[in-house]
């Protein structure tokens, strides 16, 4: 099951579980669409894997299987180009 992390690891913007802007890699490193497009070039800076749109969990399932509230953030943001 996905953790559905609450923020972008790069710019720390909020990414709620119903956000269509969340992107994840296979390890669930989580970024916003903006950082992925402008800064990361579609590749996860942690593992080198591809970043894809994170599926949204339906609200009734979220009540039973809540999203993670643990923020993961890279100090200094994502790698500069
Ligand atoms: Zn971001
Ligand atoms: Zn990754």
Classify residue 5 as exposed, middle or buried by CB count within 10 Å of its CB (0-12, 13-18, 19+): buried
Q: What distance in angstroms lies between residue 32's CA and the mean position of ligand 1's atoms?
A: 4
pTM of the model: 0.90
Closest residue by Cα to residue 31 from 47, 54, 56: 54
CB 23 within 8 A of CB 31: yes
pLDDT digits (tens, 9 = 90+) for 20-68: 999 999 999 999 999 999 999 999 999 999 999 999 999 999 999 999 9
Name 68's Cβ contacts closer than 8 Å, sequence gap at least 6. Answer: 3, 4, 5, 6
- Among the bound ligands, the one closest to the CA of 40: 1
Confidence (pLDDT) at 62: 96
State in Å: Cα 47 to ligand 2 middle: 4
Q: Is the pLDDT of residue 76 over 80?
A: no
Those residues whose beta carbon sits under 5 angstroms from the ion ligand 2 are 25, 27, 29, 44, 46-47
Taking 70 as the threshold, does the pLDDT of residue 80 lie above it? Answer: no
Question: What is the Cα–Cα distance from 50 to 17, expressed in whole angstroms?
Answer: 20
């Amino acid at each position: 099951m996905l953790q559905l992390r609450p923020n972008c690891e790069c710019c720390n913007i909020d990414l709620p579980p119903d956000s269509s802007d969340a992107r994840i890699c296979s390890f669930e490193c989580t970024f916003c669409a903006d950082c992925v497009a402008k800064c990361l070039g579609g590749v996860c800076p942690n593992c080198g894997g591809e970043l894809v749109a994170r599926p949204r969990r339906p609200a009734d399932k979220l009540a039973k299987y809540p999203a993670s509230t643990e923020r993961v953030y890279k100090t200094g943001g994502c790698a500069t180009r």
